[in-house]
């Protein structure tokens, strides 16, 4: 079994790979202020509730964009699973059949996305990741990451607006019936969700124009299915693409 840990700014996504599929995918809030014991107990409980024996984990692959969480989860891996995790970074990148753009600067989650696209499809691809940030990662057929674009994610943008109005609003991630907002909630929904539809369409079109070659467009991230009109833009929607990349990297390193 392989355990993938994707540590983001909002959540830690935990994937357990067995028999060529993700048997379990769990989420834990990413809270640097909490002790590593908290995360160890959460993971142990998930394994217990699913009837999975921790000793069966053979490989652990870890991606983190939250430095304060990295050592905590490394220690959890050592204590709970008695395994040293493969931590994505420049040393690991050097062992991949890929060319990583700015290896000391690029987010490891973006590398995992690019690796998944490269290993799975071996063609130029644009990965659109709807997470805390909205990212566009472009990788070519030889595994070279050509570039990255970053914008605030949907929840990040909505939170920024709703928390800075005179009154606090809980804004659902739902596309409004009209672009003409009739109240604060529908106005924010219109500006963000309908606006982001245009943002994503325009970014993908601009990237394709620069590439001047056929490419696959892949959507991933927990919010990848929220803006339904965008579905026709994507060749595939793969919510677990980042985990797929971690799994494929781990298997390559151990091969």
Rounded-to-integer distance, Cα 234 and Cα 57, Å:
34
pLDDT at residue 160, rounded to an integer: 83
CATH number of 2-87: 3.30.420.40
pLDDT at 223 over 80: no
Classify residue 106 as exposed, middle or buried by CB count within 10 Å of its CB (0-12, 13-18, 19+): middle
DSSP, collapsed to helix, strand or coil, labels residue 81 as helix
Q: CATH fold of 91-245, please?
A: Nucleotidyltransferase; domain 5 (3.30.420)
Active site residues: 109
Q: Is residue 168 predicted with pLDDT exceeding 80?
A: no
Q: Do domains 2-87 and 91-245 have the same CATH topology?
A: yes
CB 240 within 8 A of CB 25: yes
Looking at residues 192-206, what average pLDDT do you find?
Answer: 95
Q: What would the pLDDT profile of 67-92 be if each residue is shown by its tens digit?
A: 999 999 999 999 999 999 999 999 99
Indicate the domain borders of the chain. Answer: 2-87, 91-245
- 74's tokens: 């490394």
């Amino acid at each position: 079994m392989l355990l993938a840990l994707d540590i983001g700014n909002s959540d830690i996504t935990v994937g357990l790979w067995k028999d060529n599929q993700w048997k379990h995918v769990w989420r834990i809030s990413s809270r640097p202020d909490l002790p590593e014991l908290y995360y160890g107990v959460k993971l142990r409980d998930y394994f217990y509730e699913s009837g999975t024996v921790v000793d069966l984990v053979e490989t652990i692959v870890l991606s983190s964009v939250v430095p304060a969480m990295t050592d905590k989860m490394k220690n959890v891996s050592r204590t709970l699973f008695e395994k040293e995790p493969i931590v994505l970074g420049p040393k690991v990148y050097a062992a991949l059949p890929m060319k990583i753009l700015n290896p000391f600067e690029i987010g490891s989650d973006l590398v995992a996305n690019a690796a998944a696209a490269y290993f799975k499809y071996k063609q130029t691809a644009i990965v659109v990741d709807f997470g805390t940030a909205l990212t566009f990662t472009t990788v070519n057929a030889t595994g070279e990451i050509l570039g990255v674009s970053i914008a605030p994610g949907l929840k990040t943008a909505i939170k920024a607006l709703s928390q800075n109005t005179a009154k606090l609003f809980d804004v659902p991630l739902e596309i409004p019936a009209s672009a003409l907002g009739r109240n604060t909630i529908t106005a924010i929904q219109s500006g963000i969700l309908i606006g982001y539809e245009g943002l994503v369409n325009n970014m993908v079109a601009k990237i394709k124009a620069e590439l001047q070659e056929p490419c696959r467009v892949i959507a991933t991230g927990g919010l990848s299915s929220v803006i339904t009109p965008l579905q026709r833009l994507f060749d595939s929607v793969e919510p677990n693409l980042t985990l797929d990349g971690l799994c494929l990297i781990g298997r390559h390193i151990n091969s």
